[in-house]
Amino acid sequence: MKIKHLISYIVIAVFLLYLLLPIAFSFIGSIMPETELRSPPGSKLWFAKGPTTVYYQYIFLAPFGFEFPSQDPYIRYEIRSLVILNIAYFGRILLNSVIVASTVAITNFLLASLAAFAFTRFSFKGRTSLFTFVLISRLLPPIVLAVPYYVLMQILGLVNNLVSIILVHIVLSLPFSIWYLVLYYRTIPIEIEEASRVDGASLWQTIRYVTIPVAGTGLIAIALFSFLTSYNEFLFAHFLLGRIDVQTVPVFVASMATATDVYWAMMYSILTLTMLPMIAAILLIIRFINISQLAGAIRF
């Protein structure tokens, strides 16, 4: 048993190392001067003068006219591509991503909870066919839908509008949310809802005061899943959001990576900052999630 435990710990450690190393590299690269970052690994230049926060200063202060100290001997690298990279727009782009992801998460929370309740508590004609359609719609490759969605949004006049990407992300994430909550609701005894109705509660009161609180863990998990999925989605955001002022973080990072002059330290700083909303969302929500309840829903 000790050997099995040791092997398990080693596997977990290797897996965590694989997950956390890219994050650590991004942060380390964001506080290293560009010249040192471009030097060979193990070079004496690495952190020769200590870490720097000048890249973060530029990102936050560029919208207010702050000029990057390109002649600063501490940095020793002349910047030629900051205008191309549109660093001054990053704050607005990050806000766009948070707005889109939050709206998608809240909408999924509301619509998926009601749809799953209907599928599990009501018997109506076509219920099985409709639920099957919901599942099949999630199996379609996103690339197949990219052009049709673009044409549809162009007809509606929503190209280069955050509303377009919010609608698309809701459509993409809602089927999985409904499917998971259907499984989760089936683990909740229907007798507690019937008892509420017998005591005089209306259907909406039963959903609000009984079902939703009991299913809170599953609903919060779906909201978090929807937020992370929307925040990281690239394909549709790339198609629908061409203007720099309405772009989301994945599109902006991709434009940085494909720029003529790649400024690595600035890119690492941007990548580090883009992780903060996701980390904040996870830390705020994870304490409300009961892992054992989630596992029970999946086993069903």
**149-173, pLDDT tens digit by residue?**
999 999 999 999 999 999 999 999 9
The predicted model gives 126-141 an average pLDDT of 83
Angle formed by the axes of helices 90-121 and 249-257, nearest 10°: 130
The predicted model gives 187-202 an average pLDDT of 84
Burial code (b: 16+ CB inside 10 Å, e: under 16) for 156-170 equals eebbebbebbbbbbb
Q: State the Cα angle at 111 between 106 and 116, rounded to 5°.
A: 130
Q: What is the pLDDT of residues 40-77, one digit of tens each?
A: 766 666 667 667 888 888 888 877 777 666 555 555 55
Where in the chain are all domains bearing CATH 1.10.3720.10? 88-263+275-299
Identify which of 130, 109, 104 has the alpha carbon closest to the alpha carbon of residue 118.
130
In sequence order, what are the residues at sequence separation of 6 or more whose Cβ sits closer than 8 angstroms to the Cβ of residue 282? 224
100: confidence class by pLDDT, cuts 50, 70, 90? very high
pLDDT given at position 298: 46
Measure the CA–CA gap between 269 and 27, rounded to whole angstroms. Answer: 7
Measure the CA–CA gap between 254 and 243, rounded to whole angstroms. Answer: 14
Measure the CA–CA gap between 143 and 152, rounded to whole angstroms. Answer: 15
**Does 86 have pLDDT greater than 90?**
no
More confident residue, 16 or 74: 16
**Does 81 have pLDDT greater than 60?**
no
Range with lowest mean pLDDT among 15-19, 82-86, 94-98 = 82-86
Tell me which CATH code domain 88-263+275-299 carries. 1.10.3720.10
Q: What is the pLDDT of residues 247-297, one digit of tens each?
A: 999 999 888 877 666 778 888 889 999 998 888 888 877 776 665 554 444
What proportion of the chain, given as a percentage, has pLDDT over 90?
21
